[in-house]
């Protein structure tokens, strides 16, 4: 599936984000050359061997799990996969904000819709691969639930304008 470069190291920055204290990367052999190329095209920090890297200082919410349910479904075991996923979505948002004119009109709507759909699906695939590669092991029910949640509800976050 894949491998992370180590444990996540992040500091809480209120009200609800964490800032990476060191880079975090995920390497997978489960991406095709075309998939790696698409991620590179939108600006993802990915090597030709499939290593995706989040730089020190990146902000993440870990897994967009409302704090009220952390006692039941805490994000800690999926935090590294979720951080890589946040990086992919943030890059996708940045790519599209760079492809709108001053009136907020998309420059090539048909092409951008196709790229957005493929890149979002690919980002969610990487999230799934990351959860399967996590140590300690993430329970299957949680992997399925988290992946289903990003497929159902991730369209909004993937298309919002990037934050600072």
- The tokens for 126 are 């990487």
Domain boundaries, the chain: 2-159
- The tokens for 160 are 């919002």
How many CB atoms neighbour CB 19 within 10 A? 14
Q: Which residues pair with 11 in a beta bridge?
A: 19
Predicted TM-score of the model (pTM): 0.88
Q: What is the pLDDT of residues 117-164, one digit of tens each?
A: 899 999 999 999 999 999 989 999 999 988 988 898 887 766 664 443
Contact 28, 129 (CB under 8 A): yes
Helices (H) and strands (E) in the chain — how many of each? 5, 6
Q: What is the pLDDT of residues 23-70, one digit of tens each?
A: 999 999 999 999 999 999 999 999 999 999 999 999 998 877 766 666
Secondary element (H or E) of residue 63: none
Question: What's the N-to-C CA distance of the chain in angstroms?
Answer: 32
Q: What is the pLDDT of residues 78-130, one digit of tens each?
A: 999 999 999 999 999 898 888 777 776 767 777 778 888 899 999 999 999 99
């Amino acid at each position: 599936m894949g491998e992370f470069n180590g444990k996540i190291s992040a500091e809480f920055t209120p009200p609800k984000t964490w800032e990476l204290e060191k880079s975090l990367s995920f390497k997978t052999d489960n991406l095709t050359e075309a998939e790696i190329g698409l991620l590179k095209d939108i600006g993802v920090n990915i090597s030709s061997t499939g290593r995706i890297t989040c730089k020190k200082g990146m902000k993440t919410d870990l897994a967009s799990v409302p704090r009220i349910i952390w006692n039941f479904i805490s994000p800690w075991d999926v935090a590294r996969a979720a951080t890589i996923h946040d990086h992919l979505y943030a890059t996708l948002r940045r790519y599209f904000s760079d492809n709108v004119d001053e009136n907020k009109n998309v420059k090539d709507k048909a092409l951008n819709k196709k790229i957005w759909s493929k890149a979002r699906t690919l980002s969610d695939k990487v999230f799934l691969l990351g959860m399967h590669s996590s140590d300690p092991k993430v329970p299957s029910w949680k992997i399925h639930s988290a992946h289903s949640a990003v497929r159902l509800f991730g369209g909004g976050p993937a298309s919002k304008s990037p934050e600072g």
